[in-house]
Chains A and B, each alone.
Chain A
Amino acid sequence: MLTSKLEIAQARIREHWYPGFAWLVNDSAPWAPLKKPLAEATLALLSTCGLYRMDTQVPFDAWNDLGDPSFREINVDTPPDRLRIAHAHYDHKHIAQDADVSLPITYFNQLVHQGVISRLYPWAYSFMGFLPAPHRLMAETAPQVAHRLAADGVDAAFLTPC
């Protein structure tokens, strides 16, 4: 059930960016139980804040009215000064200064060192969260990432949005 606030936002997005836009409304939530203690688990980081490697990757198509359903694979050892943001729909001031606001690699490495989690998956997955037309993300790119993580023994994903 959409609130009036979401209905107003939906009308605005239809008017300015994509006439076919509709908020996603699901009947139920998916569920995958955590099958082991956190201290034995491998966690992966995901973000929709539009981060990419400026030296080896092309930016997201940030100004496309339909969004960009692709993803970038970023090694967790990437120096933060190699990261840039391609996302035209939020204020970059915090993440541009401190990528840990979006991909908290520093703290998750500490959690591994402290034994709180077993392992940080070596690849973080970056998406661009402005996506009025999410069909290809839902049908192709998000399942592709989910299958990679599951096949590689990742037990849980930690996602930050933008």
Chain B
Amino acid sequence: MCVVMNREITENVKTPRSLFVRFSYGAPLGPAGHMETHQAVIREALDVLVNAARPGTIVESDVEWPE
């Protein structure tokens, strides 16, 4: 199960299950100290792990970078 920040690279590499987050490199789960954001991303990623039905699944995260 991969959290990914670059959808184009992921589509070419074809990882088995990926959650695409619109965060920058260096903050794959969100900002430092913002555990609610980290937890939300991880919960989504675990949903993808359990529910992805086919190889190469990429799900776009609903979690936004907090203000």
Listed in ascending order, the chain A residues whose CB lies under 8 Å from chain B are 1-3, 5-6, 23-32, 34, 38, 49, 89-98, 100-102, 104, 106-108, 111, 116-117, 156-162
Contacts and interface: CB of A to CB of B under 8 A. Distances in A.
A158 B1 contact: yes
A14 B17 CA distance: 29
Contacts of A92: 26
Contacts of B45: 158
Interface of B: 1-5, 8-9, 12-16, 24-33, 35, 38-39, 42, 45-46, 49-50, 54-56
Task: Give the dominant DSSP class at A's interface.
Answer: loop
Given A34-B50, A95-B32, A28 B9 contact: no
Contacts, number: 109
B26 A98 contact: no
A42 B55 CA distance: 21
A89 B24 CA distance: 12
Contacts of B32: 93-98, 101
A141 B38 CA distance: 28
B39 A101 contact: no
Given A5-B8, A38-B50, A98-B33, A160 B28 contact: yes
18 contacts: A23-B9, A28-B56, A30-B16, A34-B49, A34-B50, A38-B49, A90-B24, A91-B26, A98-B32, A100-B29, A102-B28, A104-B42, A107-B39, A116-B46, A158-B42, A159-B1, A159-B2, A160-B28
A37 to B, nearest CB: 8
